[in-house]
Chains A and B, each alone.
Chain A
Amino acid sequence: MTSESDLSCSGLVRRFGDNAAVDHVSLNVPAGTFFSILGPSGCGKTTLLRLLAGFDRPDEGEIRIRGQRMNEVPPNRRPVNMVFQHLALFPTMSVGDNIAYGLKRRGVPAAERQKRVARVLEQVGLPGTENRNPQQLSGGQRQRVALARCLVLEPTLLLLDEPLGALDLKLREQMKVELKHLQKAFGTTFVYITHDQSEAMVMSDQVAVMKNGRFDQVAPPEELYREPATPFVAGFVGDNNRLAGELVSVREGLAEVRLDDGGLVRGRMASQAPAVGERAELFVRPESLVLAGEALKPDFSTVQASVDTTLFDGANSRVEVTSSGQTLFARLPQDGSAPALSEGATLQLGWDPMLARVFPAGGA
């Protein structure tokens, strides 16, 4: 893969009345990558996707695909195809005709068309289904037909609008992996929008977290998880515990926060840092919290907490505790070494300050 970018946008703005649904978004998607835009509903991600597809025009900014300016190009002339949220398979056509539709528009002769339809159906794992009606297929199969219908045209860019949303949980897990494999196999650049952080994390090379029409952070999934740039990202991507307090000092990148009950805890300072004396929030992930006695090191921060309940969920079992009025979750060790946690029991929770992050309060 070269580092040449398939899609680059600069300063995109789309306003509806006074409200900017997309607010100065710039992005750069290298060829052959899986790029996700993650955000809660109403954050403007669908609007952004529609700008890219050409169903809507930006008020400001520029969209370039392989260096070509796309702002004025209508959707049917863009080298971009879209998998819709509800797939939008043509119900009056067979599977084969659905896939051949785009080829027909390009004037591909019938024999060649048939060959390419058969080939792409094989690639998505549905050989010989040309004459079936889309309604006869299962949800996962329809998904693949919708993908095949776009991929057969070999677009520069494939846009996906939460296509897994309508599937049940099990199938969704399966399709996540499959989508990633298909993307690798075809080598097409995918731009995928979703509100499901797990979808974005599992599949993507790069994830952009979007909020109120802006990108909060664009990074690979792991960086997003380990180094959130904003409190919103810290709270939205993965589970996180939040402790409110006041910043009292900063030493070598480590911030000390006085919690509302008087306890002093520490965490790494985020790049977006509060000043000393200001309200601050400390984020620490459930898996970073250790139960006292386990492996508590001297430099760890600790809080006192009382057990509310334990939530058994296999590898993801947690204990819910309350510490100075705030609910926290801690991951339970997998080897069953956790002490018996009866309701109301008090315990000490500790964490490595390097794994916690301190942000200014009120960020999200």
Chain B
Amino acid sequence: MRSSASRLSLWLLLTPFLLWIVLLVLLPHLQMLRVSFQVRESWDTLDWGFQQYQNFFSESYYWRTFVRTGVMSLFTTFLTLIIAFPIAWYIARLARGRSKGLLFLACLIPFWASELVRTYGWMILLRESGVFSAWLQALGWADGPVEMLYNDVAVIIGLVYNGLLFMVVPLVTTLEGMDENLVEAGYDLGGGHFTVLREIVVPWAMPGIVSGCIVVFMLTLGSYLTPILMGGKDSAWFTQQIFTQFITRFNWEQGAALGVLLLVLSSLIVWIGLRVTGQSLRKVMG
């Protein structure tokens, strides 16, 4: 009686989780995998094959965009880490009491608005008739309006901004747990600033660094709005290709194949990242 009751409560607890995993994660992906291997022969006949994957490799525009998206996402992740680390260090180790909470809040506030609003914010600053352009002209450093939008730099600025919080949070968490004496011991035994950072702080923060990098990389790789709004029509982000296939060209088979490839790419890079840094997913996410 008791055991059946506890078993029932276990199932009740597990049900939402199982529903989520099966309906929202497993099923759509399996469906997409299936669609990606279907070749449409005519309007009502389907065959199985690798046609869509062959298209990807034979059409250079596809795989170039793919590689470009991957490389730019890696670069964005790296840049986010470089910017977030000093911020996290300050919040975790130097700020005290109220100022610590305020700084954390300052990082959080932009995320009360949607990605769309945040991106428009940057567009107001960077566009030809925008704030920065006006300042440059007012200061006499530019003769006419300067267009700072619609290039790769603008895209990366937007992406870094969107990823920053997700890098800062895990970094603050790991750095807060570090014993101050470890840093002091690093100096005491003859290390300089750089040595202490490289030999003691970074190895200690590695779980936070890796988990922050994974989240930011995934977000960046899969982002759609920021590249399209800040990069303009030439931004060529891989998610746009998928969107085009599904919505514009109504070629679900090709879109599904590209989606599967994106999933494989992100999983592969995360796996490589974990291997290179010697971390395990359990340690990083736990």
* A interface residues, Cβ below 8 angstroms from B: 53-55, 74-77, 80-82, 84-86, 88, 90-93, 101-102, 105-106, 149-150, 153
Contact = CB atoms under 8 A, between A and B. Distances in A.
Contact of A105 (B182, B185, B190, B206): B190
B184 A76 contact: no
B184 A81 contact: no
B195 A105 contact: yes
Contacts of B206: 92
A85 B189 CA distance: 16
Contact of B188 (A53, A93, A106): A53
Q: Is the interface of B mostly helix, strand, loop or mixed?
A: helix
B188 A90 contact: no
Given A84-B181, A86-B179, A101-B199, A92 B188 contact: no
B246 to A, nearest CB: 46
A153 B189 contact: yes
B191 interface: yes
A88 B184 contact: yes
B192 to A, nearest CB: 6
Contacts of A91: 182, 204
B11 interface: no
Nearest to A81: B188
A84 B187 contact: no
Contacts of B184: 53, 55, 75, 82, 84, 88
Nearest to A152: B189
A53 B188 CA distance: 7
A76 B181 contact: no
Contacts, number: 64
A82 B190 CA distance: 11
Contacts of B189: 76, 81, 101-102, 105, 149-150, 153
B181 A86 contact: yes
Contact of B187 (A75, A86, A92): A75
Given A84-B184, A86-B181, A88-B185, A101 B204 contact: no
Nearest to B182: A88
A55 B180 CA distance: 12
B179 A82 contact: no
Interface string B166-201: 000000000000010110111111111001000110
A8 to B, nearest CB: 21
B179 A88 contact: yes
B185 A90 contact: yes
B192 A76 contact: yes
Given A76-B192, A101-B199, A88 B181 contact: yes
A75 B191 CA distance: 9
Contacts of B185: 82, 84, 88, 90
A347 B124 CA distance: 94
A92 B279 CA distance: 12
A84 B186 CA distance: 12
B49 interface: no
B203 interface: yes
B200 A76 contact: no
A193 to B, nearest CB: 15
Given A86-B181, A88-B181, A90-B182, A76 B187 contact: yes
Interface in B184-233: 184-192, 195, 199-200, 203-204, 206
B204 A106 contact: no
Nearest to B183: A88
Looking at B181, B203, B204, the one whose CB has the most chain A CB atoms below 10 A away is: B181
B126 to A, nearest CB: 41
A98 to B, nearest CB: 9
